[in-house]
Structure 1
Amino acid sequence: MVVKLFLFILLLDGASSALDTRNGSNEIAVVEKAYLKWVKQMASFKHSLFQKPENKFKPCLKLRVRKKPRFGDFRTVQKAIKSVPAVNLCRVVISIGAGTFREKVEIPPTMAYITLVGAGADKTIIEWDDTADRMGPSGHPLGTFASATFAVNSPYFIAKNITFKNKAPLPPSGALGKQAVALRISADTAAFIGCKFFGAQDTLYDHIGRHYFKDCYIEGSVDFIFGNGLSLYKDCHLNAIGSSYGALTAQRRQSMLEETGFSFVNCKVTGSGALYLGRAWGTFSRVVFAYTYMDKIITPKGWYDWGDKNREMTVFYGQYKCSGPGAEFERRVSWSRELTTEEAKPFMSVDFIDGHVWLPTS
């Protein structure tokens, strides 16, 4: 385990570049490619972290992060995380006090069962301002993958009542290299309750794994929820801040065999600009909106095929009993779907993400 992790770190340090895959390039970011290769290797081992989900909720360790040292164990979130055993096998609860914590945070792959609890999403804020074109320590651009303010690479992560923010300014339309991720979740079985995510282009990188977002606020301009996760967004507020055309989702399902996709249930979409519900980043991109209020900012067509007509035959884009001035289905693209009750049912509950197995009950 330690040897594999060391080799992975070396591979990251030696990455020659981190090209964004959504700027018309067919190359995958080197850093992301290295990470996914490592995950695949680890998944082939009979290791407890990668078997059928068996979450743990009873804490074995509690830590406090506070701006004032005398009130806590640590002054920064990253230092608290670094104090946890490298291979962690029990629930660690880290409470984070009120204040703005200006730091870039990453949780390594072996450090499972981490819970972060803030004093309130408007009170506890973790922020940074990296962009994809910013030079990293290796002298190469960070790329979208490494631009994240907060990056989670370990399973069974839980965050409650925290704001994750990328403070990079809203880029002009068509600007290159300005992807700026607030949070990247690159691991299975993660839950975010009452959290807020602020950014512009590429706010929330819903990368890989099964995820649950409940009572969250997510703000951005272009592709501000993107990736290839299998994720349920319940009772969330999605707010666009663009001044021209933008897109809410860019889901990257690449094969009909992949059980990934985004489902939005009982959500609200508001904001400015003209917003597509989604762009087909993946050939088999899958996104569903159910019982969701859509403001007038939603473009009548609703969806964009990423300039590839072939994707219109393979994507799965649907809505079910949505409301609001932007929810009218009559003018949607012909290759989207107005779902029946039977078609919508698999996307409506936590069963979509096998949540009854691994989600906390409170």
Structure 2
Amino acid sequence: MIRLKKIALLFIVGFSFAAHAQNTYKNWPDIIRKNNASWFGTEEAKKIAENVLLYQRDIGGWPKNIQMQNELAPVQKKELLEIKKTTKETTTDNGATTQEMLFMSKMYAQVKDDRYKESFLKGLNYLLKAQYANGGWPQFYPLKKGYYTHITYNDDSMVHILNVLKEISEETDFYSIKPSKEIVQKAKTAFDKGIYCILKTQYKQNGVLTAWCAQHDEVTLLPAKARAYELPSLSGKESAKIVLLLMSVKNPSAEIITAVKNAKVWFEKTKITNLEEKRVLNDAGKVIDKKMIVVQNGSPIWARFMELENNEPFFCDRDGIKKKSLDQIGSERRNGYAWYTDEPKEVLKKYDSWAVNNGVKVSENPSDKKKANFLTVAQDGSGGYSKIQDAIYAAPSFPYDKVTIYIKNGLYKEKVRVPEWNTNLILLGESKENTIITYDDNFSKVNLGRNSTFYTSTLCVEADDFTASNLTIKNGSGDNGQAIALSVTGTRVRISNCIILGNQDTLYLSGKNAKQYFKDCYIEGTTDFIFGGATALFENCIIHSIKSSYITAASTPQESEYGFVFKNCRLTAEPSATDVYLGRPWRIYAKTVFINCELGRHIKPQGWENWSKPDAEKNAFYAEYNNTGEGFQPQKRVIWSYQLTKTQADQYSIENILKEIIPNWYSSKQ
């Protein structure tokens, strides 16, 4: 720890300077997707927008693989002006055009410059013009000779287009620019034609629907070849995003339901669980070798290319000759291409909920999903149970397979306990906004002595290997002292896409050697509203303070390497909450780290407080790295906190924090 402090102090001056840079993203797509909304109103963003306008051709499209944030020399600007009237290299490949449209939408939301609006609408018109009569899109438009004319699912090109048209046709608030009703109707027609094309191109293997190829012939709709090493094949990668798009369609037709069901079966059939990819990196972080290692019960992966006849994976070098394994091709293609993917795990993860919502049997084979392993709770009597706790009582103890309790929308006013023998349990809500578990216990109401706080939880999870998603978990007692919404003492617990509401002590995380994972959650409270001694990783969460107080109160055991780690989170607050600390130590060895987070102005400049425990200043570990926002003031933090170097921050990977107990249990797509 002493050595770490010295390293941190040595680099603090350089890091503090870097932290003030307005934009830390090097890749163009990251600049668009990862910057907060207010950044798009800065002078830096406006300067980049001028480049984006220059790169857009008059037809409406953009070229691909351009780092548009890079400064342009006068001669480059002149060249771009000269070719604007041409259609040179306009494409939707590698995210081109759709990502620039998103940039222009975010710019227009902050700066009402009509040029941004016009640019977006020209891009939309380009997408509409580029569509084939059969509903597909080529890789380049106007058409470029060669395989570029094929209907292109490769790198999710067509899915990106359809997602744009879906937002436009449904008139959502995703884009700040609102087209005319006529354009909205055109977008709806184009979207429907695109879905029709997807359904027509789903490959039949021995008469059974399976998945999709990266390219399909624009006339015959059959799988087609692209580059020499991209032979006609079923794609484990591109098919995943296609299915997720189909699953997002409201009130799906029978044809869409059939397509999704068959694709899901194919993904189950083709998953690989006995191989794991190992990468060797050089000092610059570049992959210099890939090897496939044999493992037992590995996290599922899929080959990118599979034989049309029998789903066997194959690999190709630039000579176009099929090989059976990755190690049989040269290092240039082996290391420079993505041959495996885990993207279909997102389909398998979401399938059960999608199936129930659309009246589809979760399994056509009763032996695949025993009744005891899928229970439904519904207040209207349409499920097997009207109370969540009753379904938990009915669930098998220490099951070998996952047990899912599907909870339909409703307000469930009950205290829920998942005992330690209900392992492998999933609580799956119908929707996070409308599937609500709530109770109103608090310290005074329970009145069981000095430890009354720990009896107040609305949902108490004591079991290992627990999952919850699509739920609101609320302690509704109001601002009346300690009152837990969610208490977790089990390990290997995953909470995703949930809303967790309370005031003081909203979320209690503990358990001996416990590892817990929160992803895409909204967590709200007042004082010490995330507290306890567990190791917990929070990713892409919104942490909302209701009043001026403290966010975290860790009680990390001395021997634990990690405590609470927040990555890519947003810290927000009510307007009245103007003085909020990142944390204070419940116990003196508290560990809390914020990495790549957006900190609102409510965060106090000093960041941390010692809770009148001088020993905590010597033993606690409070640190930050690469945060942004008005609340990130590293030069004003208390002197006993740390600003990490990149090397130090890299140690806070999901693998290091969570993986050592059971490999791959934590996966963000499981």
TM-score, length-scaled by structure 2? 0.43
Name the SS for the 1:330 alignment partner. helix
Task: Name the amino acid aligned to 1:250.
Answer: A
Alignment of 1:5-154 (within 5 A): 60=370, 61-69=373-381, 71-135=382-446, 143-154=452-463
Residue 283 of structure 1: how far off its partner (Å): 1.1
Task: Name the amino acid aligned to 1:357.
Answer: N
Q: What residue is the counterpart of 2:557 in the other structure?
A: 254
Q: 1:203 aligns with which of 493, 499, 506?
A: 506
Q: What residue is the counterpart of 1:170 in the other structure?
A: 479
Q: What's the CA shift string for 1:104-134, capped at 9, x where partnerless?
A: 0001111100001111110100000101222
Task: Name the amino acid aligned to 1:309.
Answer: P
Residue 187 of structure 1: how far off its partner (Å): 0.6
In structure 2, runs of 5+ residues without a counterpart are 1-296, 300-348, 350-367
Give the direction of change, closer, same or farther, for the CA distance of 1:214–1:151 in structure 2 (3 Å limit). same
Residue 140 of structure 1: how far off its partner (Å): 5.4
Task: Name the amino acid aligned to 2:379.
Answer: K
Distance 2:535 2:586 in 1: 15
Alignment of 1:169-318 (within 5 A): 169-171=478-480, 178-208=481-511, 209-242=514-547, 245-255=548-558, 257-272=559-574, 273=577, 274-318=579-623
CA contact (8 A) 2:422 2:463 kept: yes
Q: What's the CA shift string for 1:223-251, capped at 9, x where partnerless?
A: 11000111110000000001xx3111011
CA contact (8 A) 2:528 2:550 kept: yes
Q: What residue is the counterpart of 1:155 in the other structure?
A: 464
Name the SS for the 1:95 alignment partner. strand
Give the direction of change, closer, same or farther, for the CA distance of 1:112–1:333 in structure 2 (3 Å limit). same
CA contact (8 A) 2:469 2:497 kept: yes
Name the SS for the 2:549 alignment partner. strand
CA contact (8 A) 1:206 1:226 kept: yes
The structure whose residues are more often strand, as a share, is 1
CA contact (8 A) 1:232 1:350 kept: no
Task: Name the amino acid aligned to 2:401.
Answer: C
Distance 1:93 1:356 in 2: 22
Distance 2:518 2:544 in 1: 15
Give the direction of change, closer, same or farther, for the CA distance of 1:142–1:311 in structure 2 (3 Å limit). closer
Q: 2:665 aligns with which of 353, 358, 361?
A: 358
Q: What's the CA shift string for 1:28-60, capped at 9, x where partnerless?
A: xxxxxxxxxxxxxxxxxxxxxxxxx999x9865
Give the direction of change, closer, same or farther, for the CA distance of 1:142–1:102 in structure 2 (3 Å limit). farther
Q: What residue is the counterpart of 1:4 in the other structure?
A: none
Residue 357 of structure 1: how far off its partner (Å): 2.8
Give the direction of change, closer, same or farther, for the CA distance of 1:106–1:75 in structure 2 (3 Å limit). same
Larger mean Cα displacement after TM superposition, 153-162 or 342-351: 342-351
Name the SS for the 1:222 alignment partner. coil
Residue 91 of structure 1: how far off its partner (Å): 1.0
Distance 2:492 2:449 in 1: 32
Name the SS for the 2:454 alignment partner. helix
Name the SS for the 2:647 alignment partner. helix
Distance 1:166 1:306 in 2: 26
Residue 87 of structure 1: how far off its partner (Å): 3.9
Task: Name the amino acid aligned to 2:440.
Answer: D
Name the SS for the 1:358 alignment partner. coil
| RMSD value, Cα | 2.1
User: Which runs of 4 or more aligned residues in structure 1 lie more than 6 Å from their structure 2 counterparts after TM superposition?
Assistant: none
Give the direction of change, closer, same or farther, for the CA distance of 1:268–1:128 in structure 2 (3 Å limit). same
Task: Name the amino acid aligned to 1:156.
Answer: D
Task: Name the amino acid aligned to 2:588.
Answer: T
Residue 74 of structure 1: how far off its partner (Å): 0.3
In structure 1, runs of 5+ residues without a counterpart are 1-52, 172-177
CA contact (8 A) 1:196 1:216 kept: yes
The structure whose residues are more often helix, as a share, is 2
CA contact (8 A) 1:290 1:348 kept: no
Name the SS for the 2:580 alignment partner. strand
CA contact (8 A) 2:509 2:530 kept: yes
Distance 1:324 1:80 in 2: 44
Task: Name the amino acid aligned to 1:237.
Answer: I
**Number of equivalent positions:** 298
Percent sequence identity is: 32
CA contact (8 A) 1:128 1:149 kept: yes
Residue 135 of structure 1: how far off its partner (Å): 3.3
Distance 1:115 1:259 in 2: 28
Distance 2:585 2:535 in 1: 16
Give the direction of change, closer, same or farther, for the CA distance of 1:286–1:142 in structure 2 (3 Å limit). closer
CA contact (8 A) 1:179 1:201 kept: yes
Larger Rg: 2
CA contact (8 A) 2:562 2:657 kept: no
CA contact (8 A) 1:59 1:92 kept: no
CA contact (8 A) 1:154 1:187 kept: yes
TM-score, length-scaled by structure 1? 0.78
Distance 1:144 1:54 in 2: 40
Task: Name the amino acid aligned to 2:378.
Answer: R
Distance 1:298 1:83 in 2: 46
Task: Name the amino acid aligned to 2:631.
Answer: G
Name the SS for the 1:218 alignment partner. strand
Task: Name the amino acid aligned to 1:294.
Answer: L
Task: Name the amino acid aligned to 1:251.
Answer: A
Q: What's the CA shift string for 1:241-266, capped at 9, x where partnerless?
A: 01xx31110110131x2234011000
Q: What residue is the counterpart of 2:634 in the other structure?
A: 329
